[in-house]
Structures are given as C-alpha cells and as structure tokens.
Copies of this chain bind each other. A is one copy, B any other.
Amino acid sequence: MAFRSLITGIGGFAGSHLAEALLEAGDIVEGTRSPRGSLANIRHLTDRVAAHRCDIRSPSETADVIRRCRPDVVYHLAGITNVPESEADPRGVLETNFLGTLNLLEAMRREAPGGLFVFISSSEVYGRVLPGDNPVCEDHPMAPVHVYGLSKFVAELLVEIYQKTRGLGVLRLRPFNHIGPRQSDRFVCSSFARQVARIDQGMQEPVIRVGDLTPVRDFTDVRDMVRAYRLAAERCAPGSLYQIASGKGVPIASVLEGVLSLTDIPIEVREDPSRLRKSDIPVLFGDSTRFSQATGWRPSFPLPESLRDIFRFWKKQIAEQGGS
C-alpha cells in the first residue's frame, strides 16, 4: 500500500530518516521545512521529495500546504525538541509544538478530512517516573516536569479532542529516545560521538566533557523508529495510542563506554558543570509490547551499531567541514 504522505519537519533529524523510509516503501513524499531550517539532511533527496517552506506557527501557511498536498497521511514531526531550549523560551515551544499542532488539525479538518494525522509525541509526557515504575507503559499517569513535556502532553490532548469531537482520523505515538546519524550534538549520544570523532581526527585534546552519567534511558535507532511510524500508519486502528521503545534501560555511562571503544586513543573523561542538567528522573524506559503486537515491529539496530554509525557520521562531517 502506497500513501501520499506529508512529513512536517522533513529537514529535521527524524524527518529526514522518515522521508527515506517512506520513499523506500514506495510512498509519495512531501514535507514542510521551517523557513529558518537547514536543508543539509535532505540534500540527497531533493529530486525525490518536495520540501515546502512553512512556518507551522502560521495558520494560513499550514492550511496552504495541506490544501496543496492533500495527503493521505500527515506525520507531524515539526517542533522544538530540545528540553533546555524549551525551558528558556516557554512561549516559543508552546506556540510551535502546541499551536502548530492546532494549525495542522484545523487544516486537516478543512482541507483533508479523510486523511490520517500521525502525531509524534514523546516519552517526556510522563514527567515524574519513579525507578520502580519502569518499564513505563501507555497507561502511566502523565505529570510533565518541564515545558517541553507539557507541550507534547497538551498537544496529545488536543489531537484526542479532534478525533472525538471532529471525527478526524488520528494516531498518537510516544517514542522514547531515538538516536542516529544527523542528530544534533545537543543530545547525549551525538555529543559523545562528535567529541570522540574530533579527538580521533586529532582536532581536540583527548578529553571528553560529560554531564550526569547516572540516568538510565531507553535508546532506539532512528531508522527503526521511523520504520515504526510507517507501520503504525498502515496497521494501527485510528484513534489508538502507542509508545515505541527498545524496552531496555541503558545507563548514560554505558553509552559513553560504547563511544569510547570506537577509538584506540586513551581519552580522559571530565565532568562539565555546564552539562550537568539536573534530571528529576533517574530511570526511564518503556515497553512497546502493545505496539509490537499491533504491527509486528521489532527494533533491528543494536546500540553498538547505532553508536558506530553516529561516530562515522561525525567523522564524515568533520572531514567535510573541518570539524568546527
């Protein structure tokens, strides 16, 4: 089954990987990209996907894109994803993540009422989770502890209201952490891999700067994650809600160890106070039994393979751009 698909945030980390997965599945792929966003992640796809400039915060620009594309499926990935950035600009993140979702829902209702709206939420909606609550499942109470988690939670509620009272076809997916090539180094795996790649290339003294290594998180390769989104659109009942996770809790210290093993150079690990964002949630990992039962999905990339590919990505970036 091939879909006419629209990916919001197609130029982003997950968006660009999703574009590749959809093309491989035979879908027609269009997308929106932020007026300020880079096209670097999808430069290799420019002859196969149309990336429309669209500020998701604008109701009229959003409606225009939906009217032009008339998609069967919208994968809504556009948004601010970084937690510290969200804390610094609560208004910006709520306008983008929450009102942006409203703009899309309204546009779908008017211009593509028969389409399916796949909302990509986040495991950050759970907020406070006690170590003994893991693995977390879909029914866990939601108590977001920062504005980013709140923005995703309230957008989920809005999506649900549009399904129940406006009859829109929707899915809500809650991915846990996903990692892979092209992710910004404001995220931990990319930060470690980029530093080690720079050290490996002799561009940085052999010291890696790290934050808190004790939190335990759930990592899935982005390529497995976007495959899950496509499977969801094909196989999940409209109105349903699933989380997507590896099911394994991995300490950040193990990620560091995995990345350090990618080079033979001995590297000193140094705590960087500026990276020590205090986490209220020591342990968070998920359970995607329900999603696997509904779709047959299983993650296929083991963590070391993901870390190796992220490391290679940064080595290539450094070779091309000089590693600045």
Q: State the A residues within 8 Å of B (CB).
A: 59, 87, 90-91, 94-95, 98-99, 102-103, 106, 144-147, 150, 153-154, 157-158, 161, 164-165
Contact = CB atoms under 8 A, between A and B. Distances in A.
For A59, A103, A157, which residue has the most chain B Cβ atoms within 10 angstroms? A157
A282 to B, nearest CB: 17
A51 B157 CA distance: 35
Contact of A150 (B59, B95, B103, B158): B158
What is the predominant secondary structure among interface residues of chain A facing chain B?
helix
Contact of A90 (B87, B91, B94, B102): B102
23 contacts: A59-B91, A87-B165, A90-B102, A90-B106, A91-B99, A91-B102, A91-B103, A91-B106, A94-B98, A94-B99, A94-B102, A95-B99, A98-B98, A98-B154, A144-B157, A144-B161, A145-B165, A146-B161, A147-B158, A150-B154, A150-B157, A150-B161, A154-B157
Contacts of A158: 147, 150
Nearest to A157: B150
Contacts of A94: 98-99, 102
Most chain B CB within 10 A, of A95, A158, A161, is at A161
Contacts of A90: 102, 106
Contacts of A154: 98, 150, 154, 157
Given A145-B164, A150-B158, A150-B161, 7 more contacts: A94-B99, A95-B99, A99-B99, A144-B157, A145-B165, A147-B158, A153-B157
Nearest to A162: B90
A164 to B, nearest CB: 7
A157 B106 CA distance: 24
